[in-house]
Amino acid sequence: MTVALSARKISEQIKARFPEAIAEVTDQPPVLRGESLFAVAEYLKSSPELAFDYLNYITAVDYFDYFELVYQLTSLTHNHTVTFKTRCYDRGKPTVPSVVRLWRGADFQEREVYDLMGINFEGHPNLKRIVLWDGFNGHPLRKDYLTQQ
Amino acid sequence: MTLKTEPFVLNIGPVHPSTHGVFRMRATLDGEVIIDLEPVFGYLHRGIEKLAEERTFTGFIPLTDRLDYMASMSNNLGYVLAVEKLAGIKVPERAEYMRVILAEFQRIASHLVAVGAFFNDCGAFFTPFIYMFREREKIYDLFEMLSGQRVLYNYMRVGGFNQDMPDEFLPAARTLVNQIRHRLDEYDTLLLENEIAIARSKGVGILPKELAISVGASGPVLRASGVKWDLRKADPYSIYDRFEFDVPTGTAGDCYDRWRVRVAEMRQSVRILDQALKQVPGGPVKTYVPQFFHPPVGEAYAHIEAPKGELGFYLVSDGSIAPYRCHIRAPSFINLTALKEMVVGWKMQDLIIIFGSIDITMGEVDR
């Protein structure tokens, strides 16, 4: 049975190592600061007792005031899983570091989030639209994208 | 005199008989050898995730059918499990057994297409495919008995099923499982030692284990590369922990291993069906869920081992009758990430085989 690691314990573990990465420790999945995202992700992947080598998914949700990116990782060796998030408050040009260098699976998924939500991933080698065509205007999954004008 | 050559970009698809749907590849060829590949897709993008925000939780179920349209029951199952996890709904025992039976029949049906189409690509033009479709047609007949539909069933509901199985279903299912068992042996007699099949698939299109894990591959693609990871065993959902079955894995991660893993999985599905069909209890098939159902505010992610891999649904609810956000973790989309590495260095004809062996459905890739 895949053990979902306690959000509070993993938040405390991350905060002990990266004090500025998490604002407050709660029972909800940790919300990381954008600048610390890559360092924390690298720690989660390379630390031997965590060993999160498998990226389940990356997705984004539009909460009007901010965009929230959700990541879920699984360790195939220890069979445990963790979810963490990060938020972008800039609606004009939301930017988040890319984790493609850690997990290749982030390649298409980050392109999809860019395409449909308009979030930029710094360090992504090929950030182009993926499911919509190149000349498309707008980012349809955003809540302010009107489907009927 | 040296011959002057230059690389040539060949556009394959989106309308193409061998691309398993509307999929486009821009292959850079040096002679016959592929030196670069750029997959381009989105030709079947229908905005399903956006449409989810405008449907009720039950009204979205027909849209989930159309994701992996070769395995609709599995998509339904993944979605209703996510909604039930979000709302804390428990499903009656009879419905749990029905779900496992339908999911495993669906796995067999989907793998029959995958293996049949793989042999199409190898050049055995439609003969194995049509042989395998005999069993798939019988599975369609079973599903038609339940839902009235052959392909896009819209059958599972949040909380179970709306109608119980008719009395003819279980005996017909037991007969069919025996037929499938014997037919799988027949297919292996015809194809297992076929020298063309082996020459075209052994050692071709290797996906190394580390790359498969890094890419987030799942399903037969991951298992053929040597990673023993099956969500039915690693993170059991529904009642899969009550059944005995093995998880077949490959060693080399080539097209041959992906074919053999799918055939072995069909045999394991037959094994699960044998056990499940004996143990189906009586009782109700649905927990009451109101028509305009308001789950609590929150989020949930549920994943299943669909025939193509890990199919997951991430649902966010704000307490209204429609999901606030529904993200679909599509296995075909993520398995495609490594396509370029698997194909570079091979020739055009191997490209078709390697791509076919990943077994994708464009409905899932584009959503």
Domain count, chain B: 1
- A61 closest CB neighbour out of B234, B325, B337: B325
Identify the band that residue B33 occupies on the pLDDT scale cut at 50, 70 and 90.
Answer: very high
CATH of the domain at A79: 3.30.460.80
Preceding amide of B14 cis, omega within 30: yes
Which run of H or E residues covers position A111? helix A106-117
Does residue A129 lie within any of the structural domains? no
Does residue A137 lie within any of the structural domains? no
- Min CA distance, B26 vs chain A (Å)? 14
- B211 closest CB neighbour out of A104, A129, A133: A104
Q: With a CB-CB cutoff of 8 Å, which residues 18-47 of chain A face chain B?
A: none
Does residue A144 lie within any of the structural domains? no
pLDDT digits (tens, 9 = 90+) for B113-172: 999 999 988 888 889 999 999 989 999 999 999 989 899 989 999 988 988 889 899 999
- Min CA distance, B326 vs chain A (Å)? 9
Q: Do B367 and A131 touch (CB under 8 A)?
A: yes
Q: Which residue does chain A place closest to B302, by CA atoms?
A: A56
Identify the band that residue B35 occupies on the pLDDT scale cut at 50, 70 and 90.
Answer: very high
Tens of each residue's pLDDT in chain A, 149 residues: 777 777 888 888 888 888 888 878 888 888 888 888 888 898 888 888 888 999 999 999 999 888 999 999 999 888 889 999 999 888 888 899 999 999 999 999 999 999 999 999 988 998 889 898 888 888 888 888 876 55
- A56 closest CB neighbour out of B234, B325, B329: B329
Whole-prediction pTM value?
Answer: 0.92
Q: Do B216 and A131 touch (CB under 8 A)?
A: no
Does residue A43 lie within any of the structural domains? yes
Does residue B33 lie within any of the structural domains? no
Does residue B292 lie within any of the structural domains? yes
Q: Do A53 and B327 touch (CB under 8 A)?
A: no
Does residue A87 lie within any of the structural domains? yes
Q: Cβ–Cβ contacts within 10 Å for residue B209, how many?
A: 17
The arithmetic mean of pLDDT across residues B260-289, rounded, is 91
* The pLDDT of residue A111: 92
Tell me the chain B residues in contact with residue A2 when contact means C-beta distances shorter than 8 Å.
Answer: 234-235
A32-38: list long-range contacts, CB under 8 Å, 24+ apart. Answer: A32/A84, A32/A85, A32/A86, A33/A86, A34/A86, A34/A87, A34/A88, A34/A95, A34/A96, A34/A97, A35/A97, A37/A86, A37/A96, A37/A97, A37/A99, A38/A97, A38/A98, A38/A99, A38/A102, A38/A123
Q: Do A108 and B336 touch (CB under 8 A)?
A: yes
The arithmetic mean of pLDDT across residues B282-307, rounded, is 90
Size of interface A-B (CB pairs under 8 A): 79
Q: With a CB-CB cutoff of 8 Å, which residues 215-234 of chain B face chain A?
A: 215-217, 227, 229, 234
CATH of the domain at B232: 1.10.645.10
Q: Which alpha helices (H) appear in chain B, and where do they start and end? A: 48-52, 61-65, 72-87, 93-122, 127-147, 169-191, 195-201, 209-215, 220-224, 231-234, 255-279, 331-335, 339-343, 348-358, 362-366
Q: Identify the domain containing residue B187 by its residue range.
A: 49-338
- Min CA distance, A141 vs chain B (Å)? 6
DSSP 8-state secondary structure symbol assigned to residue B317: E
* The pLDDT of residue A149: 54
- The three-state secondary structure class of A75 is strand
- Min CA distance, B118 vs chain A (Å)? 25
Does residue A113 lie within any of the structural domains? no
pLDDT digits (tens, 9 = 90+) for B330-344: 999 999 999 999 999
* The pLDDT of residue B114: 92
Which run of H or E residues covers position A109? helix A106-117
Does residue B192 lie within any of the structural domains? yes
- The three-state secondary structure class of B36 is strand
Q: What is the ipTM of this complex?
A: 0.91
* The pLDDT of residue A26: 82
* The pLDDT of residue A147: 65
Does residue A108 lie within any of the structural domains? no
Domain count, chain A: 1
Cα separation, B135 vs B142, in Å, equals 11
- Which two three-digit tokens encode residue A35? 């600048």
A112 burial via Cβ count (<10 Å: 0-12, 13-18, 19+): buried
Mean of per-residue pLDDT scores for chain B: 91
Which run of H or E residues covers position A55? strand A54-62
CA proximity to A83, closest of A1, A18, A10, A24? A10
- The three-state secondary structure class of B8 is strand
Q: Identify the domain containing residue A63 by its residue range.
A: 3-99
Residue B93 pLDDT greater than 80, yes or no? yes
User: How far is CA A9 from each of CA A14, A30, B53, rounded to the nearest angstrom?
Assistant: 9, 10, 33
Tell me the chain A residues in contact with residue B49 when contact means C-beta distances shorter than 8 Å.
Answer: 116, 141
Does residue A50 lie within any of the structural domains? yes
pLDDT digits (tens, 9 = 90+) for B46-70: 999 999 998 899 999 999 999 989 9
